[in-house]
Chain A
Amino acid sequence: MRIERYEKIFMALTLVVLLAALAAIGVGVFAAEVHLPAPAGRVDPRQIRRTAPFDQPGVREVAPGEYEAVIIARAWAFEPNEIRVPRGSTVRFRVASADVIHGFLVENTNINVMVIPGQVAEVAARFDRPGEYVFLCHEYCGFGHHQMFGKVIVE
């Protein structure tokens, strides 16, 4: 096949640009340690209130400065919708749905995960600055979807 010289140059340059972008992502993942959600177990939404740890939604300290927040997402609220932790804490959120698909996004953090019936969503962040961080549902979950939010209060 006949390919002109400048076509070849452009095709090569493009390849370099794309590889550079991939390398930048690689650096982001390994150096900055920003990870995507990974499988963290299954839970039956019909039995969720009888299944640990979702039988006791809420926040608890699991080690000094480390907290676990267990949250049930349902149409159209998070249970609980307020999480209080001292500043400098690392919070591991475990979120699961009792009905349809929801989303879980905490503002000003890297937390962004789908909450899919049947799956436990597990994500973590460290809260260094005191203040309120809104978390909200970002997946359409019915008529009241836009009412569904809560707050992490860092003291």
Chain B
Amino acid sequence: MSSIARTTGMEYSGPAETIYLAEQLWPIRGQLYLGLLGLAVGGYLGLLQALERIGIDLYSAHFLKSYYQGLTIHGVLLAFLFTFAFSNSFLSLTTIRGFERPLASTWLAQGAFWTMLAGTVLAAFAILTNQATVLFTFYAPLKASSLFYLGAVFLVLSTWLTSANQLLTLRAWRREHPEEPIPLLGFVSVVPYLMWDLASVGVAILVVVFLLPWSLGILSHVDPQFDRLLFWFTGHPIVYFWLLPAYVSWYLMIPAQVGGRLFSDGLTRFVFLLFLVLSTPTGLHHQFTDPGMPTVMKTVHLFTTFAVVYPSFITAFTVMAALESGGRARGGRGLLGWIRALPWKDPSVNAQLLAMLVFTLGGATGIVNASYSVNLVVHNTAFVPGHFHMTVGTAVALTAMGICYWLIPFLSGRELWGRRLALAQAWLWAIGMLVFARGQIAGGLSGMPRRTAIGDAAYLDLFQWSLDNWLTAIGGIVMTTSGLLFFIVMLRTLFFSRPLAAPVEIPVAETVHGARESWPLFDRLGLWFLIAVGLAVVAYVPVILGYLPLNPVSPPIRVY
């Protein structure tokens, strides 16, 4: 019996078919499967990267021209396809459940699926034919085929369609429920996309105004420093776009799954709004070592970066408090006894608890990255992949897998197959990741560059990286094993498992202090969006004005 059936949270009382329409569920299902396909293929290339470090080169055996072609696949599939497709799917579903009504537009829901698919096909074609070995950052003047940039446009477009649909759904709900506070689950589903709508403007301008015309020969030169400014306008907030779907589950689902309650509705809204407002004016912390950016503005962005750490700290506390309420309700006693009492044998809960644990380390290493002059020690070294495999690679990916342990039964009507394997899967991922990250972090601290075929590096013998490389490789093998188990469990659930005895309910936590005790102004989303735009303008206009005139000196260069 799954924890979902035990859920103590707020159950939807109406008949499921009236809100989950078949014609809206298939694009949700389709995007989830597409995202998971990205996770499978991308993760497999991770194994190749890890093995390259101990001298095992599997690239030519896979018809890949280089380590970097493989790394482009890894980065694009995992950082863009998997995360975007999972968000679109999961947060569309939570929008339906949150507002207890179908999405406003079936057309937009299906459009999101088709654009996601089109973007994937275009980008995959360009990368697989070695016309876009530019890594997932596609920094100019490395030139990719225009199909690659077009693919990126479609992927982002798909997220915008999803956002538009959410906003239309919110508007329709408001008409149907004048004067009521926005349901919390609906609120936390919409806000991450609002944040992203603003954040993605940078990369949209970069691709549509500069790189696409440049790759087509319409524009002869671009300015690489300015292009990086546009890229990182999006590049930092994107990490919150990856992370917030996991937060939705941690805030609103996990408490119900462990039999506890979320304390404060208002504080939850506050945290999500802080992400909306503070995520974007921070991008320059990725450009601390860029020569063309002034140090004064780097310092300003340092402060906003520390500000956006704040909501994550509150999250740690709030989620822990909700977990404790669940552990105690399940009979846990003493200072820490409630931790043992949590349902660790529930695959969905287990995976997400481990994801949270690894995330504390990921967050701590993130603060190191952001710490201005300390950044000089770690910038562009293997420390950085060490950091973000604990954040997006675990906090997000392992949470997504944990969510799949109830979501796939929900969507397929089949019982989760192989619960014990699913438990082992999450432990292996977390342990493998810690070993992997230990290797990358230690290597990075002694100067090992990232995005580099280390096993082939001309300077390999001048450093003592052997232990670091072995840890990276062993961790990578353990993670790949875990990934394999995950897909075995998923596929067997989909194709060979028995139909569910009782339908799965989407877990939604109750709050101790509910929406009526929240601050009504929190629901004025348009206002908060304007504040976010204002802060982004204040953080970026001085940088841009100080930088101009543009310095378009770079023609397209293909060196791969």
Query: Is B66 in contact with chain A by the CB < 8 A criterion?
Result: yes
By a beta-carbon cutoff of 8 Å, the part of chain B in contact with chain A is 66, 68, 135, 139, 141-142, 223-225, 228, 263-264, 266-267, 287-295, 298, 302-303, 306-307, 309-310, 313-314, 317-318, 367, 371-377, 379-381, 446-447, 449-454, 456-459, 462-463, 513, 517-519, 551, 553-555, 557, 559-560
User: B458 contacts which of A10, A11, A28, A146 (Cβ < 8 Å)?
Assistant: A146
13 contacts between A and B (CB under 8 A): A1-B518, A10-B314, A21-B306, A39-B291, A100-B224, A112-B379, A112-B380, A118-B225, A138-B379, A140-B68, A142-B142, A142-B559, A149-B457
B559 touches A42 (CB 8 A): no
Known: A112-B379, A136-B459. 12 other contacts (CB 8 A): A2-B266, A28-B374, A29-B373, A36-B372, A100-B224, A112-B375, A118-B225, A134-B459, A138-B452, A139-B380, A142-B68, A143-B68
A22 touches B141 (CB 8 A): no
Instruction: Decide: A143 near B517, CB < 8 A? Known: A25-B372, A112-B380.
Output: no
Query: Is A62 in contact with chain B by the CB < 8 A criterion?
Result: no
Given the complex of chains A and B, what is the CA–CA distance between A94 and B431 in angstroms?
43
The contact string, 1 if C-beta is below 8 Å from chain B, for chain A 28-62, is: 11001011111110101110000000000000000
Chain A residue nearest in CB terms to B226? A118
Instruction: Decide: A36 near B298, CB < 8 A? Known: A3-B264, A42-B551, A143-B66.
Output: yes
Chain B residues contacting A75 (CB-CB under 8 Å) are 557, 559
Given the complex of chains A and B, what is the CA–CA distance between A29 and B559 in angstroms?
38
* Minimum distance in angstroms from A143 CB to a CB of chain B: 5
Instruction: Decide: A36 near B373, CB < 8 A? Known: A22-B306, A75-B559, A136-B459.
Output: yes
Chain B residue nearest in CB terms to A109? B376
User: B310 contacts which of A18, A42, A103 (Cβ < 8 Å)?
Assistant: A18
A118 touches B462 (CB 8 A): no
Chain A residues contacting B513 (CB-CB under 8 Å) are 2, 4
Chain B residues contacting A111 (CB-CB under 8 Å) are 376
A35 touches B295 (CB 8 A): yes
Instruction: Decide: A46 near B139, CB < 8 A? Known: A14-B313, A149-B459.
Output: no
By a beta-carbon cutoff of 8 Å, the part of chain A in contact with chain B is 1-4, 7, 10-11, 14-15, 17-18, 21-22, 25, 28-29, 32, 34-40, 42, 44-46, 75, 99-101, 103, 105, 107-108, 110-122, 132, 134, 136-149
Given the complex of chains A and B, what is the CA–CA distance between A155 and B51 in angstroms?
38
Given the complex of chains A and B, what is the CA–CA distance between A138 and B193 in angstroms?
33
Chain B residue nearest in CB terms to A19? B306
A119 touches B292 (CB 8 A): yes
Chain B residue nearest in CB terms to A6? B321
Instruction: Decide: A35 near B142, CB < 8 A? Known: A2-B266, A2-B517, A138-B449.
Output: no
* Minimum distance in angstroms from A131 CB to a CB of chain B: 12
B139 touches A122 (CB 8 A): no
B292 touches A39 (CB 8 A): yes
Given the complex of chains A and B, what is the CA–CA distance between A114 and B449 in angstroms?
13
Given the complex of chains A and B, what is the CA–CA distance between A63 and B451 in angstroms?
38
Given the complex of chains A and B, what is the CA–CA distance between A100 and B367 in angstroms?
30
Chain B residues contacting A140 (CB-CB under 8 Å) are 68, 135, 142, 451-452
A103 touches B449 (CB 8 A): yes
